[in-house]
């Protein structure tokens, strides 16, 4: 698995295609040693050839920041044109893809100096949101495993909500992604409860209560503060449900940042509980 997902790579190629002429892209391909894999008579063809070359990989290439992989070079080149590309759909898609890869995109402030002159353009930079070497935190790996476990246990409603959440997130539709993530969280608990013997006519809260005390062994563990009988204290699952149902926006809180947090915590949480279901006995 590469450092970046396919959507990120293709979006970077689209930004480059929008920002450079055919001859400039020819020079890039020679610089990166992929002229035999590049080319194309249209900009869309250049996007395809650049994307395929980056995904297929090859020897490290030289850039201003040193020797890097071809896909990293492609991303860096796209980031160099953030000021002209930032209003395009491709740039928004690139930002969404990078978040899913665990990176925050920092766009330099465009500030005039005391004489009214615009500051020189500098590239946007990547900041890793999570430690690169921390185990179990790769969001793409988490999503892949979650989807596999949803399919394995036939949790079709939850699977549908997750698919729609991912699509909305990739399009930069933060409210839509948040709503589907709420539905995803609620749905997999509901479906797991029914799988473990709960009456399907009960409401969602009753089904979560069933997972805490109606099945043996309990699926939600009170001694881990995952669930609390009668809601006597703010256990993890109840608190997460509340965090996913806020009322309105909050001053100073970025929609993008909040949506990214919700995606990350939902994927990691779902993986924990779906692995528990998979181990059984249920």
Q: Write out the chain's pLDDT in tens, 282 residues.
A: 578 888 899 999 999 998 889 999 999 989 998 888 877 889 999 999 999 999 988 788 888 878 889 999 999 999 888 777 777 888 888 888 888 787 877 776 655 555 555 544 566 777 776 555 554 556 667 778 899 999 999 999 999 999 999 888 878 788 899 999 999 999 999 999 999 999 999 999 999 999 999 999 999 999 999 988 776 667 899 899 988 887 655 555 578 778 888 988 999 899 999 999 999 887
Q: Which pLDDT belongs to residue 196?
A: 95
Identify any residues that bridge with 126 across adjacent strands, giving them in sequence order.
105
Q: Domain residue spans in the chain? A: 6-128, 139-279
How would you label 196-235 residue by residue, b for 16+ Cβ within 10 Å and e otherwise? bebeeebeeeebbbbbbebbeebbbbeeeebbbeeeeeeb
Quote the CA–CA distance of 99 and 169 in Å, as a whole number. Answer: 10
Cα torsion angle, 217, 223, 227, 233, sign: positive
Residue 145 has phi, psi (to 5 degrees) of -65, -40
Q: Which pLDDT belongs to residue 253?
A: 54
Quote the CA–CA distance of 89 and 275 in Å, as a whole number. Answer: 37
Q: Which pLDDT belongs to residue 5?
A: 87
Quote the CA–CA distance of 5 and 78 in Å, as a whole number. Answer: 15
Q: Which pLDDT belongs to residue 113?
A: 52
Q: Which pLDDT belongs to residue 112?
A: 54
Instruction: Work out the number of other CB atoms within 10 angstroms of the CB of residue 145.
Output: 18
């Amino acid at each position: 698995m590469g450092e970046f997902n396919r959507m990120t790579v293709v979006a970077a190629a689209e930004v480059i295609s929008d920002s450079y002429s055919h001859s400039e892209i020819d020079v890039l391909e020679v610089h990166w040693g992929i002229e035999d894999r590049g080319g194309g008579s249209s900009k869309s063809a250049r996007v395809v050839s650049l994307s395929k070359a980056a995904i297929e990989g090859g020897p490290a290439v030289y850039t201003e920041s040193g020797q890097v992989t071809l896909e990293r070079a492609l991303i860096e080149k796209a980031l160099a044109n953030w000021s002209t590309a930032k209003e395009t759909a491709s740039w928004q898609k690139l930002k969404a893809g990078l978040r899913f890869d665990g990176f925050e995109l920092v766009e330099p402030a465009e500030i005039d100096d005391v004489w009214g002159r615009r500051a020189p353009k500098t590239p946007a930079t990547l900041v890793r949101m999570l430690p690169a070497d921390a185990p179990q935190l790769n969001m793409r790996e988490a999503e892949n495993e979650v989807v596999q476990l949803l399919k394995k246990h036939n949790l079709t409603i939850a699977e549908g909500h997750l698919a729609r959440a991912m699509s909305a997130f990739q399009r930069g539709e933060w409210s839509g992604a948040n709503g589907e993530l709420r539905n995803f969280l609620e749905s997999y608990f509901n479906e797991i409860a029914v799988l473990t013997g709960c009456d399907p006519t009960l409401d969602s809260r009753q089904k979560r209560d069933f997972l805490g005390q109606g099945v043996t062994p309990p699926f939600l563990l009170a001694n881990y503060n995952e669930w609390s009988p009668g809601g006597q204290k703010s256990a993890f699952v109840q608190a997460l449900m509340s965090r996913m149902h806020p009322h309105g926006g909050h001053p100073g809180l970025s929609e993008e940042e909040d949506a990214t947090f919700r995606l990350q915590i939902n994927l990691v949480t779902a993986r924990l509980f779906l692995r528990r279901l998979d181990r059984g006995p249920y």
